[in-house]
Amino acid sequence: MAKPKIGIICGSKSDLPVLAKAEAQLKEFGIAYDLTVASAHRTPKQVEQYAKAAEKKYDLIIAAAGMAAALPGVIAAHTHLPVIGIPIHSPGLSGHDALFSIVQMPPGVPVATVAIDGAKNAAVLAAQILALKYPELADRLKNFKQGMAEA
């Protein structure tokens, strides 16, 4: 039986502390993932290759980026997989620049977008999407939501 797997990509190693929340949540749900650091601006060919190869490896991609935040959109432009974007806080504009860059995608190239530094919600949204294909995740999500209500 196939198991769900997510690709997580971020533009800089400085994004890793934010992504730790997504990693922890995915582990709690039992969802496998790979983490890659590649920049849409500094390593564009690597990003393009990553996106084009993703459909053979992953069910969905979580892409995090700060400032100009081109990474989630570039990934979405090169794959048919769902992409969830995480705008990363930056000192200059408090992450609003990244939020606007990710959420303002052109028609036909959507990127689902969570809050600035919203890595945990990106993982939960990913699990909700994947639960449509992997029914065992639905029970884990129900238990997760019930646990939140009880807390």
The secondary structure element, H or E, covering residue 78 is none
- Topology at the third CATH level for domain 13-150: Rossmann fold (3.40.50)
Q: How confident is the model at residue 121 (pLDDT cuts 50, 70, 90)?
A: very high
Determine the pLDDT at residue 2.
83
Please compute the mean of the pLDDT values over residues 130-142 and round it to a whole number.
95
Q: How confident is the model at residue 107 (pLDDT cuts 50, 70, 90)?
A: very high
Query: Distances in Å between the alpha carbon of 78 and those of 5, 33, 141?
Result: 18, 19, 30
Domain boundaries, the chain: 13-150
Q: How confident is the model at residue 10 (pLDDT cuts 50, 70, 90)?
A: very high
What is the C-alpha to C-alpha distance for residues 110 and 60, in angstroms, rounded to an integer?
13
pLDDT in tens, 43-99: 999 999 999 999 999 999 999 999 989 999 999 999 999 999 999 999 989 999 999
Reference 54, options 40, 70, 66, 36; nearest CA is: 36
- 59 DSSP 8-state letter: S
pLDDT above 80 (res 1): no
